[in-house]
Structure 1
Amino acid sequence: MTDRVLILGGRGRIGNSVAADIANHTQAQITITGRSPETGNSVNLPLANRVDFLVLDLAEIDKLTQAIANSNLVIHCAGPFHHRDANVLKICIEQGINYIDVSDHRSYTIKALKYHEQAVQAGVTAIINTGIFPGISNSMVRQCVEQFDQPEKIHLSYLVSGSGGAGVTVMRTTFLGLQYPFTAWIDSKWQKILPYTQRQIIDFPSPYGSSGVYWFDMPETYTIPQTFPSVKTVVTKFGSIPDFYNHLTWITAHIFPKWLMQRHYMIEFLSHVSYFMTDFTNNFSGIGVAVRSAVTGKKNGQTFIYCSTLVHENTALASGCGAGSIAQLLLEGKLKKLGVSPVEAALPTNLFIPAMESRGMKISQSITQIDDQE
């Protein structure tokens, strides 16, 4: 029988990329959803005869439940996830349907993880935070951590050119992430961090080179310390290309009045202005992404830094590869992890690497020994 995949929010840039990846790598029949009938007219995916469109609002519980029940796999791409409840996940568990999402905020991750035991009892595999970052980045961390007897510090750095090929929703995600302080696992304790602080220059692969990144609240800031409890510090930093976007974002985070940044209309205004600006600068900067995972730890009594890097020319397409590869593995029966799990806890490296290679995603590694006497 043909597998049936339901992609909620499939007409967004990320959802569309996920659908394209699944169409390219599986034989599944795909249904993508949108709130407006007009969005269905713009469906333009590989093998379009295997892609259907369904008008659906997540508030339509009965219709949502029926759509989920008629599927083998549900992929939740309807962001932003900052204020989303976990109702889609809850219905999937009740219906016994496997679940993936591209969620990218700690608040949603915490809500989803609370359903772990229910998912186990229902025999459901639910993998959250898939995509590029979080997602592929988490698996790069796992690959690095496995090189050590005792991993101690994880430093994740992300760099996006222009809009990254994504839509206004991703802009909203960025500005929503600037509203409040968050906690990070530093020196074996949770410490308060202000978003977009502590600029750091990181050497990324070509064509990016040395670029500035800043503290940013990501789900992996929360999940990685739990997945790898021996790690003492987890750092997650983000930056933009061109660099003047970093300075504008810093001003937004630290100069604009907090009460103003917490207003919906201000988030919408900033998101649309930013999208308009990047739509122009994309012509010069491109829409690519760079991910760098650096893990410091001990192997055979010596201290090393194991560094893993990935560059892709289109951030949205890279996100599609992250979620799509996990969907493929679930549909093929190669991946099964009952409960609700972040990517780094669910996807073994021996499945991750071939999945990336089959999509032309080249991950480079380097290892450097550190003199403990320095």
Structure 2
Amino acid sequence: AGGCDSEEEEGDFDLSVRFLELDFRDRASLAKALEGTKAVVHTAGPYLGEKPEILEAAIECGVPVYVDVSDPVDYIEQARALSDRACEKGTIALCSAGAFPGLSNVLAMECADRLGEPVKDVDFSYFTAGLGGSGDVNLLITNEGFGEPMLLFRNGHMTKEDTAGGEPRKINFFLTDEDQSRSLVGEQTVWNWPFPEAATVASELEIQGDSSIGMGTAPDLWNVILGVLVSLVPRSWWRNRDFSNGLAIFSKPMVALTDRFVGETHAMRIDMSGVGGRRVSAVQAHESFRRVVGQSCAEFTLSLMEDDKDGKPKISQRGVFTPEQLFRSERVRSPVLKRLLAVPGTLNYGFKEE
């Protein structure tokens, strides 16, 4: 299920792909559409304020594989509550399976493995330049996020903070001078935004210190404007969909104009420290935010659909998972991480251990 315009996009797909317009809240129509389906990929966001109805329908229809790119913690928790039912019906479901969250979660679990000691602190930093045609939905999602609380760990305990859009800081989105992201992205400003992995990954790793998470964009003028707006506009306004959507529609022409000058770039960085003082950092960069989200989602889906030489699923678990849960073990994580870091358009990736 997605939000593509079939007339505009259908020609880019294999002939076996068909488009079907329906209201996913119409249970009968949705159930009919899911008959005989091997996998459901749900990208019809935004997910904020929604219930996991498509996941529930996929489970009840016995669809073997379900994947989405959800990011609100409330939505993820409601989805996880369906895990027992998914097990009964033979469904494996993966939420938050995009680039961030998604690939970022898997990178964090790899960092934790390389750290080799209990995790103290973890920080997630993201950068995107150019929407790449993904449109005002992403602007709406960003705007609504400013009204949501940050779920973070402080001294090993989960807390809520109303700091979205605040606490700007500078992040280097490269590890070595040879990284392409050093020249294409370099050092960028990021500010707090309520992505779920600062809570879900930190919880899975049982960190003993703090978690933090931020994102930034280009040109840097947008970071300044957003910071001013967040300081002036009440958070209740950002939670109002009419306000956030109206602002998204208003700003879309200006964003489209600046996109023509800054182009498309995406980068992420995860920094993790252990209780014994060790540090591990990971960086991944890609030519396009829009493409890396789609590619990551596709690779996650294919990994869940793959069979071994005996015709049995390579990933045998059933239930509803987040990436850090499903790919915690090195045996399961290594193949999917290799695929995720090799998608076309990847500029560079790497790890640094201290």
Q: TM-score when scaled to structure 2?
A: 0.88
Q: Does 1:118 align with 2:98?
A: no
CA contact (8 A) 1:76 1:100 kept: yes
CA distance in 1, matches of 2:98, 2:341: 16
1:351 to 325, 335, 339: 335
2:100 to 124, 128, 133: 133
Distance verdict in 2 for CA 1:130–1:45, change over 3 Å? farther
CA distance in 1, matches of 2:111, 2:27: 42
Aligned residues: 331
CA-to-partner distance for each residue in 1:109-144, whole Å, 9 max, x for gaps? 121111122212222111000111001111110110
1:262 to 229, 239, 250: 239
SS, match of residue 246 in structure 1: helix
CA contact (8 A) 1:131 1:322 kept: yes
Q: Does 1:224 align with 2:201?
A: yes
CA distance in 1, matches of 2:306, 2:349: 24
User: CA offset at residue 270 of structure 1?
Assistant: 1.0
CA distance in 1, matches of 2:306, 2:28: 29
CA-to-partner distance for each residue in 1:184-220, whole Å, 9 max, x for gaps? 1121112232211211111112221111111111121
Question: Aligned letter for 1:229?
Answer: E
SS, match of residue 55 in structure 1: coil
Sequence identity of aligned pairs in percent?
23
RMSD value, Cα: 1.8
CA distance in 2, matches of 1:342, 1:162: 27
CA distance in 2, matches of 1:95, 1:261: 36
User: CA offset at residue 259 of structure 1?
Assistant: 4.4
User: CA offset at residue 317 of structure 1?
Assistant: 0.4
CA distance in 2, matches of 1:89, 1:150: 34
Distance verdict in 2 for CA 1:303–1:258, change over 3 Å? closer
CA-to-partner distance for each residue in 1:81-122, whole Å, 9 max, x for gaps? 002111111111112212100112222112111112221222
Q: Does 1:318 align with 2:295?
A: no
SS, match of residue 9 in structure 1: coil
CA contact (8 A) 1:80 1:173 kept: yes
Q: Does 1:307 align with 2:316?
A: no
Runs (5+) with no aligned partner, structure 1 = 1-7, 12-38, 369-374
Larger deviation: 65-74 or 252-261? 252-261
Distance verdict in 2 for CA 1:223–1:259, change over 3 Å? closer
Question: Aligned letter for 1:75?
Answer: V
User: CA offset at residue 221 of structure 1?
Assistant: 2.2
Please give the residue correspondences for 1:7-46 in structure 2 after superposition, counting only pairs within 5 Å. Answer: 8-11=1-4, 39-44=5-10, 46=12
User: CA offset at residue 149 of structure 1?
Assistant: 2.3
1:92 to 58, 61, 67: 58
User: CA offset at residue 232 of structure 1?
Assistant: 3.0
CA contact (8 A) 1:124 1:338 kept: yes
Q: Which runs of 4+ in 1 moved over 6 A?
A: none
CA distance in 2, matches of 1:275, 1:351: 38
Higher strand share: 1
What corresponds to 2:302 in structure 1? 328
CA distance in 1, matches of 2:88, 2:206: 25
SS, match of residue 48 in structure 1: coil
SS, match of residue 15 in structure 2: helix
Runs (5+) with no aligned partner, structure 2 = 175-181, 308-313
Distance verdict in 2 for CA 1:201–1:131, change over 3 Å? same
